[in-house]
Structure 1
């Protein structure tokens, strides 16, 4: 029995309206709710910093006793997202799952690719390849590059706390988590359900909404039967 439904993410308003969501919240709220719940339930501690790198965007969230006190999201650069690593892995002929992190972690001398935008990093990659750079060093360089990009463009001068959660699909890549730890000199925690933490948080928000005695407005799974129309606008 479904007692409540919530939506989050960039398409939350549209999807929420389509399926009859009970509650709609932004990604920051969803991620902090999920992370705070996991940190208390599994580790009995309060997460105070969230690094989130998804396939299309990145987020930084600073917490104090479960309350968001600062946050920032990426603006335009795709070089700080998971899709960038996936694209580069394909161009280098390696698997993003497993093989990427294994090769990166075995590198002794990662290539310095900086934290510039995609087109410049790709140019540098090609130049290093032509000069005979080792594949593992190039891959390790990409891991460091996405971390430098995130820290310099998303975090900037914001406070980084003691209990840091690394979330989003990119957190499945151990070499990126290791690069964060190496650069910051801090422990980086990849929590359970890191790839769907926003969904976990949204489920908790929906549960709280249902506990307040509100009946669900969810229309059901058969979305294709819902009548809707499209129109263009300038």
Structure 2
């Protein structure tokens, strides 16, 4: 037997998926990142170690994705690093080979992926407007006094949805507060908000491109049955929500690790479940101002040893062999502008 691990580290949540040789999900976890991606990754592996799986020696490959994919890759010893679009599309095609459109709404951004004949042919992202994302819905649910788990159910009970402006998150919230003050029922407010947010998605994310079946809805927001119903009403078609919709990015990165193993047949660089759960990681960053790029260089130290460095566009800081004294010398060298290079540490 062989197993593969996928990790998706986002700004709001961290997901981990364990799959078998057939690509099927064995186990997964979904945690709030809460501003601490290192702790969230370690907690995920801590949960995995308690499941009783005797898989340590049978891990064949590890993949990472998400905004924190480079950090996660260094921490765990990943074999492949891929962007979110590739990871989500890979998982969607595994779940439904005939998929043509992937609607993905996460904690802080939204994306749409177009697939033709099993190949991704385009995508759009919306990372500016928060309307419709998980964090926005969480905020509105709290303000209305509704558990987020019941938010969609309220929408389905509505008989007369209220018209809410969905041009952006600010307008949507402002209009929702105004309509609430007029005494509308919560279920009508929630239903109107779901319809408005779906309209916003189609306008600002799909941007006029045709959404064709089979359409898969994934990401944390796919758990909201009100949003799903609004999509089906607006598009005039059924929308498939996979069983593991909230961890599709992690699943996709695990599948990509499986593909990597089949292609190169190399040994994994995985550090080990118990090791990852216990060692100390310290991220640091500094700005290199030797040219107009002003690159922000990210470093990760594991047990006080520099393990990885990324963010250099020219490759100057790609080597791990530069000593700390070299770094201090470059940071302290005065530029013509009189600015000085400064090291900045972020406690994540």
Instruction: Give the TM interval when normalised to the shorter protein.
Output: over 0.9
State how far apart, in whole Å, the 2-side matches of 1:112 and 1:79 are: 15
1:185 aligns with 2:236: yes
1:55 maps to 107
1:120 maps to 171
1:140 maps to 191
Deviation of 1:79 (Å)? 1.0
The count of residues paired between Structure 1 and Structure 2 equals: 228
Could you report, residue by residue, the CA deviation over 1:15-57 in whole angstroms, capped at 9, with x for unpaired residues? Answer: 21232210000111111111101114xxxxx101000011111
Per the normalisation by structure 1, the TM-score is 0.92
Deviation of 1:80 (Å)? 2.7
2:3 maps to none
State how far apart, in whole Å, the 1-side matches of 2:241 and 2:137 are: 18
Three-state SS of the structure 2 residue aligned to 1:55 is coil
1:201 maps to 252
> More relative contact order in 1 or in 2 (CA 8 Å, sep 6+)?
1
User: What does 1:72-221 align with in structure 2 at a 5 Å threshold?
Assistant: 72-97=124-149, 99-212=150-263, 213-221=265-273
Sort the Cα spacing of 1:229 and 1:50 in 2 relative to 1 into closer, same or farther, 3 A.
closer
Contact 2:198 2:230 in 1 (8 A): yes
Richer in strand (by share): 2
Deviation of 1:176 (Å)? 0.5
Per the normalisation by structure 2, the TM-score is 0.63
Deviation of 1:116 (Å)? 2.1
Deviation of 1:227 (Å)? 5.7
Deviation of 1:78 (Å)? 0.7
1:70 aligns with 2:127: no
State how far apart, in whole Å, the 2-side matches of 1:18 and 1:101 are: 37
State how far apart, in whole Å, the 1-side matches of 2:137 and 2:226 are: 11
Richer in helix (by share): 1
4+ aligned runs moved over 4 Å, structure 1: 226-229
Three-state SS of the structure 1 residue aligned to 2:114 is strand
Question: Unaligned regions of 5+ residues in structure 1, if any?
Answer: 41-45
Contact 1:114 1:148 in 2 (8 A): no
Sort the Cα spacing of 1:101 and 1:229 in 2 relative to 1 into closer, same or farther, 3 A.
closer
1:28 aligns with 2:85: yes
Sort the Cα spacing of 1:19 and 1:121 in 2 relative to 1 into closer, same or farther, 3 A.
same
Deviation of 1:229 (Å)? 5.1
Could you report, residue by residue, the CA deviation over 1:147-197 in whole angstroms, capped at 9, with x for unpaired residues? Answer: 111111100111211210001111111111000010111111112211111
Contact 1:85 1:142 in 2 (8 A): no
Contact 2:165 2:171 in 1 (8 A): no
